[in-house]
Amino acid sequence: MTKKIIHVAVGVIKAGNTLFICKRPDDKHQGGLWEFPGGKVESGETVFEALKRELIEEVALTIHSSSQLMVIKHDYGDKCVKLDVHVVTDFSGDAHGAEGQLSAWVAIDKLSEYNFPAANVEIIEKIKTQF
Ligand SMILES: Nc1nc2c([nH]c(=O)n2[C@H]2C[C@H](O)[C@@H](COP(=O)(O)OP(=O)(O)OP(=O)(O)O)O2)c(=O)[nH]1
Ligand SMILES: [Mg+2]
């Protein structure tokens, strides 16, 4: 049987050479690890609409545009995800963990000090070479 793939809109929020990251709550899938904020694309939504909704909910930012960086499929065994990763530089608001989660603006060359889910390894490699 083919596994259901969960489509996720992921936002790499960038200001200068820093990125905004959040810590996933312990009780969630891949909990306790750091992430780029975002969440599941609901039926009928475009990726941009999902990203916009999730970033308001999770980090209180309103985004005005985004550009696709990459798409990554990853099978965690218990869940299979397709991460639609977008870079966001055009936003308004004061980023913070709006759901009470830890968050931080981190310099790109310090990202390796944070533990991310396995699917993020490729994203971080690309960011380091491209930005
Ligand atoms: N947001 C986000 N999710 C990631 C990243 N890397 C990664 O493997 N994931 C996985 C973990 C989850 O299985 C899935 C995203 O789910 P999510 O928990 O953010 O979804 P959501 O915000 O809609 O929240 P909920 O439905 O669980 O309440 O993608 C990442 O950098 N950011
Ligand atoms: Mg989320």
Tell me the C-alpha distance between 61 and 105, whole Å.
14
Residues with Cβ within 8 Å of 73's Cβ and at least 6 positions away in sequence, in order, are 5, 80, 81, 82, 83
39-to-1, 2, 11, 109 alpha-carbon distances in Å: 25, 22, 9, 25
Domain range list for the chain = 5-130
Ligand 1 pocket residue status of 36, Cβ below 6 Å: yes
Q: What's the 36 CA to ligand 1 centre distance in angstroms? A: 9
Q: Which DSSP category does 42 fall into? A: P
29 lines ligand 1 (CB under 6 A): yes
pTM exceeds cut of 0.90: yes
| 30 in contact with ligand 1, CB cutoff 6 A | yes
10 lines ligand 1 (CB under 6 A): yes
Beta carbon of 69 within 6 Å of any ligand 1 atom: no
The SS3 call for residue 22 is strand
pLDDT band per the 50, 70, 90 thresholds, residue 1: low
| Token pair in block for residue 8 | 């996720």
- Residue 25 CA to ligand 2 centre (angstroms): 10
Distance in Å, CA 17 to ligand 2 centroid: 23
Distance CA 64, CA 13 (A): 12
Report ipTM for this prediction: 0.96
Q: Judge: domain 5-130, CATH 3.90.79.10.
A: yes
pLDDT at 70 over 80: yes
For the cut 90, the answer to whether the pLDDT of residue 4 exceeds it is yes
